[in-house]
Amino acid sequence: MDSKIIVIAIGGNSLIEDNKNVTVSTQYAAAAKTAHHIAKLVKAGHSVVIAHGNGPQVGYILRRSEYSTKILHPVPLDSCVADTQGAIGYQLQMALDNEFTKMGLKASVATIVTQVEVDPDDPSFKNPTKPIGSFMDEETAMMHKKESGWDVVEDAGRGWRRVVPSPKPKSIIELDAVDKLINAGVIVIAGGGGGIPVVRNADGTLSGKEAVIDKDLAAALLAKHLKADYFVISTAVEKVAINFNKPNQMDLGQINLTEARRYMAEGHFAPGSMLPKVQAMVDFVETTGNVGLITDPAHIYDAIYKDAGTKIVK
């Protein structure tokens, strides 16, 4: 296969293999497993750009911030995203470099702290719905609502949670830097956690926003701008399924845009899970005419070279 540009989006949850044993070392071990499969694509001669989720990791930062409110300043959400971009990027860089060493491969990896522009008039700023952080009792939630200005909601009898806007990504501020690094043969990690949400002010300057951008939509935007040959979303299952967890469940091998839209309209994909992934794929494939793939980390290489995963074509 000729050299291709491959954008791979990996989930933040994929770095948490055991919710009862979450440490920096266990997250690195999980990152190393994914890096092994990505490194095989680099060895095959492809240009790879990696985006990643950060939901659990941002949650940990927010919890630490809540516990230390009496002695330390709070950490705004945009800074939390920046922090996780650095920490997860570091783990992926090390894991990939170690894989390259095992393979006898000389390759460079760089993480870009990535800002993503959003529309200040995006409807989500008036109707925040994205839950973040830990569960609270009602008294604590009302205190944060009054003193911190948080939007809070009761979550299905499990407690109260903070909700924040989840605006659609408009543009990637560091896109030119990503492009130059790729052209120089560097493996790039960018757009972590959907990117740091920023808005463009009237005078052209940027300001951070307390929001969370869907990482699959941001990765799709990155893949479109780079005109990637393949856009891969790595998730918890090897293939997308319709009638999921039902007796008539059917795994999907290759589908086209018409079929993908029909399955979405029929409600086969959960809104907080597979639906945004399929939506991001449809957007990418429709715009570029190139190939989208959804699979789990262990099948990233085989999704490109064999019949693993779900392939979405125009």
Residues of the chain by 3-state class (helix, strand, coil), percent to 5: 40, 25, 35
Amino acid, res. 263: Y
Catalytic center residues = 12-13, 130, 215, 277
Compute the C-alpha angle 54/55/56, nearest 5°.
100
Q: In Å, what is the CA distance from 256 to each residue of 35, 289, 314?
A: 29, 11, 5
Reduced to 3 states, what is the DSSP secondary structure of residue 6? strand
Reduced to 3 states, what is the DSSP secondary structure of residue 247? coil
Instruction: Write the DSSP string, 259-271.
Output: HHHHHHHTT-S-T
Residues 107 and 101: their CA atoms lie apart, in Å, by 9
Reduced to 3 states, what is the DSSP secondary structure of residue 105? coil
Instruction: Write the DSSP string, 175-225.
Output: HHHHHHHHHTT-EEE--GGG-EEEEE-TTS-EEE-S----HHHHHHHHHHH
